[in-house]
Amino acid sequence: MKKSIDKKELFSSVPVPEALLTMAIPTIISQMINLIYNMVDAFFIGRTGNSYMMAATSITLTIVMLNIAMSNLFGIGGGSLVARLMGREQPEKARQASAFSLYGAALIAVTYSLLIGLFLNSILRLLGASDATIGFARSYTIIVTVIGTLPTVLSLAVAHLLRNTGYSGKASLGLSMGGILNCMLDPLFMFVILPKGQEVTGAAIATLISNCISCMYLLNEYRKAQREAPLSMRLSDAKDLDPANRKMIFMVGIPSALLNALFDVANISVNILAAAHSDLVLAAMGIVMKVERIPNAVNIGICQGMLPIVAFNYASGNHERMKETMRTARNAGLIVSVLCIIMFTLFAPQLAGIFLNTSTGDTVSSMQTIAYASSFLHIRCFASPVQLLNYHTSFSMQAMGKGKETLLHAVVRELVLYIPLMIVLDRMFGELGLAAALPVGEGLGAVFALMLLKHTLKHEKPQQGIS
């Protein structure tokens, strides 16, 4: 029982910087390890010097990343509700919400796998796969998505539920375990077990095995945490959740899922426009989108650590602590973003070169791909601080249960600003204009986000705001 009290104290009374560090550091570590795990496929595929394999991984990344959108539907939608119900001291309803979220995540994962399997070729062509890349893309997608979506989505959703009840370390360890294991299995399957030319399939098998083991660990930790936290695996609890709280899960979960889905739509649009230039431009853009995930991973980790603290204090009425948590998280993320701009500006060719070997395979194509990637990274790195402001606003509003505001921000950010800008700038300035669309679009999105967050907080308590 003492452990449960400690979790409540962590959210309610531990000094904000300490509480945020306690929640965010394990999440950041998990995000970074999983970033490495997501990039390690590209790294080892890059050792082949095959730009077409690299382009194929860029195409499949969008399909795989949609797993995050689906996990957010019930992981963030359910997890933020659980944290708010804890703040209101309603543990039984929190247990019901956690069970509903667990089974909902499993159902949507199976549905997604079936849909991808039925329309695989058409989807890959739509994403920009050419005759030279579709075979590699098909092999990876069948293994990682058609077969592997269930353990992937369950892992992410369960990690959110654990994190939002104070078990940030357990959640992060489970996700990190999969990442570390994938780093170990990738070279084994790619270069030892499977024959030359099957590197993409080997990477996919390694990813599937890693995700399954991570899922089993997290489900076991979730089962054990039921003894002290408001979590449940009982189907009866899922059925007993009242309609009002089911609605709350979807009110926050659907905008959160759509936010990630729209982010993936934007990436699809980037891939399609890049592929229209050439497979090498597509491969280069794919490299850059992996490199720039470094600050994104850290900043998302900070915001995920912030979310349950904000949700708990919003529900308990301690708005001063809620806003202090938001300010602390925002300032930490901005520092990370500025440091990454400096790093990317100074070392763009070296960072791009990590993902593609220029001494084997088609060296001319590889060197041209690196040149493109360096130019794109020099431009796109300036999006990092404004991306942080967009993430921060979204997570803050999700924590407060503001589903409509989260959805509005997502639609304006991606559909109104970023995607139209990438089309216009691509036509005006070619591939460099396509790269420039990210900082311009995210910058305008951040201005809208700050105005929206200020309005939301003013509406909650007019005499106070976030500075």
Q: Cα–Cα distances in Å, from 61 out to 41, 64, 271, 444?
A: 11, 5, 10, 26
The answer to whether residues 283 and 51 touch, using CB atoms and an 8 Å cutoff, is yes
State residue 106's pLDDT score.
95
Q: Which of 19-23, 113-117, 457-461 has the lowest mean pLDDT?
A: 457-461
Q: What is the pTM of this model?
A: 0.76
Q: Which two tokens stand for residue 193?
A: 């077990």
Average of pLDDT values for 392-417? 91
State residue 323's pLDDT score.
92
Task: Please write the tens of the pLDDT for every residue from 93-106.
Answer: 999 999 999 999 99
Q: Does the pLDDT value for residue 467 go beyond 60? A: no
Answer with the residue of higher pLDDT: 376 or 70: 376
State residue 461's pLDDT score.
53
State residue 379's pLDDT score.
94
State residue 463's pLDDT score.
35
Answer with the residue of higher pLDDT: 240 or 72: 240
Average of pLDDT values for 195-204? 85
Question: Could you identify the residue written with the tokens 């967050």?
Answer: 453
Q: Does the pLDDT value for residue 367 go beyond 50? A: yes
H or E segment to which residue 387 belongs = helix 384-399
Q: How far apart are CA 117 and CA 100, in angstroms?
A: 26
Average of pLDDT values for 132-147? 89
Q: Which of 9-18, 66-75, 362-371 has the lowest mean pLDDT?
A: 362-371
**Percent of all residues in the chain with a pLDDT value above 70, rounded to a whole number:** 93
Q: Does the pLDDT value for residue 137 go beyond 60? A: yes
**Percent of all residues in the chain with a pLDDT value above 90, rounded to a whole number:** 46
Q: How far apart are CA 195 and CA 321, in angstroms?
A: 57
Q: Does the pLDDT value for residue 34 go beyond 60? A: yes
Confidence of residue 4 (pLDDT cuts 50, 70, 90): very low
Buried b / exposed e over 65-75, threshold 16 CB at 10 Å, is: bbbbbbbbbbb
State residue 5's pLDDT score.
42
User: Cα-atom radius of gyration of the chain, to the nearest Å?
Assistant: 21
Mean pLDDT score across all residues of the chain? 87
State residue 266's pLDDT score.
87
State residue 357's pLDDT score.
65
Task: Please write the tens of the pLDDT for every residue from 185-195.
Answer: 988 998 889 88
Query: Residues with Cβ < 8 Å from 450, sequence gap 6 or more?
Result: 389, 393
Average of pLDDT values for 395-419? 91
The answer to whether residues 401 and 322 touch, using CB atoms and an 8 Å cutoff, is no
The answer to whether residues 269 and 310 touch, using CB atoms and an 8 Å cutoff, is no
Helix (H), strand (E) counts: the chain? 19, 0
Question: Could you identify the residue written with the tokens 């509003």?
Answer: 397
- Any idea how long the chain is? 467
Q: How far apart are CA 273 and CA 431, in angstroms?
A: 8
Q: What is the dihedral of CA 397, 399, 402, 406, to 10 degrees?
A: 50
Residue 360 sits at φ, ψ, to 5 deg, of -130, 165
List the chain domain ranges: 2-460
